[in-house]
Homo-oligomer: A and B are copies of this chain.
């Protein structure tokens, strides 16, 4: 008996979402299930806008950024009314299971649906922010970090040519994964991220950075790059840039990488992760699981309760933070 699985991508798009869609569709075919692909995130579910996805639809998409199912944020799903409407569409189409590729907001919707619906619900963590607990990596994170380092490598060229200071703001909502990983990868002279920043120390930190900049400029032949997480600095990153200029008399222009971090062809890591997770999601459904997120830990697939996954925000690896400190301490002494 053929089973019907609904699939949608929700929240901010992430490179590798298409690879996950492909894997779900091919694995579903392997297990003789059908995939109903709903468009525009939960909106497609509310509006009953879907297509039956076949092997032909997912050919030639593993390397494409974005999502062929489109994505959206969906305000209605925060209300009882919206959730009921979603459940009605699932019932009407005789759907047996629902797979959602997205972040924690998307998983909240999934949990809400599962409270009013008998079908199985499975989440696949797809977000560039990497802030989902229960999985070492989320789909899209590795590509976003690489996009970040390619951009900053270019800014470094100009910084070096002019022995100049630059402040670069990276995405991540309220988590520092992208910023910290990019900062270490680009040998940033200063990483300002949620891991190592406390608002009360703001003034002290400001003076410390100003001093480092002044020292660096006196030595000449040295650029100084600061990477900073969005939503971190009180008053915004531009305020930091202004303050530094005031303290040092040296231009410290802000570069906001912005939306280039979301798109682009996924790196291998994201294609592989998405492929493994897509297959695992279909297998989980085949095994009768529900209310689970597919996670990867220690290079193996596992199931994590959706409620656990959204409980805490995952922190940046201590190994990395400590490695960086052993390199940074040095800079501070000089």
Binding site for B on A (CB under 8 A): 9, 12-13, 15, 22-23, 26-27, 29-30, 40, 55, 59-60, 62-67, 70-72, 136, 142, 145-149, 151, 153-158, 160-163, 166, 181-182, 184-187, 221-222, 253, 255-265, 267-269, 271-272, 275-276, 279-280, 282-283, 297-301, 317, 319-320, 322-324, 326-327, 329-330, 334
Contacts and interface: CB of A to CB of B under 8 A. Distances in A.
A263 B156 contact: yes
A63 B13 contact: no
Considering the complex of A and B, which 3 residue pairs feature the smallest CB-CB distances, nearest first? A157-B263, A154-B263, A65-B157
B146 A268 contact: yes
A277 to B, nearest CB: 9
Given A63-B153, A67-B161, A323 B259 contact: no
Contact of A63 (B23, B149, B221, B301): B149
Contact of A161 (B55, B59, B66, B147): B66
B264 A185 contact: no
B158 A263 contact: yes
A234 B26 CA distance: 32
Given A187-B62, A323-B279, A162 B268 contact: no
Contacts of A186: 62-63
A27 B322 CA distance: 11
A262 B158 contact: yes
B268 A142 contact: yes
A302 to B, nearest CB: 10
A258 B255 contact: yes
Contact of A268 (B62, B136, B154, B185): B185
Given A62-B186, A320-B276, A327 B26 contact: yes
Contacts of A326: 26-27, 30, 279, 282-283
Nearest to A271: B185
Given A256-B258, A259-B155, A326-B283, A62 B160 contact: no
Contacts of A161: 9, 13, 66-67, 70-71
A18 B122 CA distance: 39
A98 B27 CA distance: 44
Given A62-B185, A253-B258, A255-B256, 6 more contacts: A30-B327, A66-B161, A70-B160, A72-B162, A158-B259, A166-B259
